[in-house]
Amino acid sequence: MKKNMGSTDRIIRIVLAVIIAGLYYGGYISGTLGIVLLVAAVIFAVTSFVSFCPAYVPFGLNTCSTKEKK
């Protein structure tokens, strides 16, 4: 897999994942919405750690700079 996520994109996804997880475990969001958001948070975290987002591929998006691709 080629990297297609830049540092800023990765940081934003990690922050969102932490916020969503905190809201879920804090009891602020629950039920079906809470589970859906928690799954999204896990996906955000995983894609951030591998620097690859499969949803970017069909659209040809790439937020990774040439320096980060190495």
What pLDDT does 31 receive? 95
pLDDT in tens, 16-61: 999 999 999 999 999 999 999 999 999 999 999 999 999 898 998 8
The distance in angstroms from the start CA to the end CA of the chain is: 12
pTM above 0.85, yes or no: no
50-66 burial, b for 16+ CB within 10 Å, e for fewer? ebbbeebeeeeebbbee
Decide: helix, strand or coil at residue 22.
Answer: helix
Tell me the pLDDT band of 63, cut-offs 50, 70 and 90.
Answer: confident
pLDDT at residue 64, as a whole number: 84
Domain coordinates in residue numbering, the chain: 7-56
pLDDT score recorded for residue 15: 97
Farthest-apart Cα atoms in the chain, separation: 42
DSSP annotation string for 32-46: HHHHHHHHHHHHHHH
